[in-house]
Amino acid sequence: MNIPETYQVICRDVFSVRPDIEYELIFVDDGSGDDTLLQAKIVQNKDPRVKIVKLSRNFGEFRAIVAGLSQMTGDCAVVMSADLQDPPALIPELLAS
């Protein structure tokens, strides 16, 4: 369960650095057996820009990504896992290019 930490890191490293961008965060629960959905809902209650996609079972990473992208409304997307192996601090650099 990395949702709260992931949300905090993204807010700190991306949205506080680039307050000029509008954003939405889409968390996809790919049939997890832990409390990922509950944690995502807690974050969503704090931030209305958070969306949640709950899949009925584990469909795999590719389908989970497609499910999340199908719900986006913005002009661009960054796909990442909630394990923070990909550092969100690089997103502002990506947006600048």
Residue 97 has pLDDT above 80, yes or no: no
The pLDDT tens digits of the residues spanning 15-58 come to 999 999 899 999 999 988 899 999 999 999 999 999 999 999 99
The pLDDT tens digits of the residues spanning 52-89 come to 999 999 999 999 999 999 999 999 999 999 999 999 99
Question: How many CB atoms neighbour CB 3 within 10 A?
Answer: 23
Task: Say what the pLDDT of residue 1 is.
Answer: 55
For 53, counting Cβ atoms within 10 Å of its Cβ (0-12 exposed, 13-18 middle, 19+ buried), the class is middle
For 25, counting Cβ atoms within 10 Å of its Cβ (0-12 exposed, 13-18 middle, 19+ buried), the class is buried
pTM attached to this predicted model: 0.90
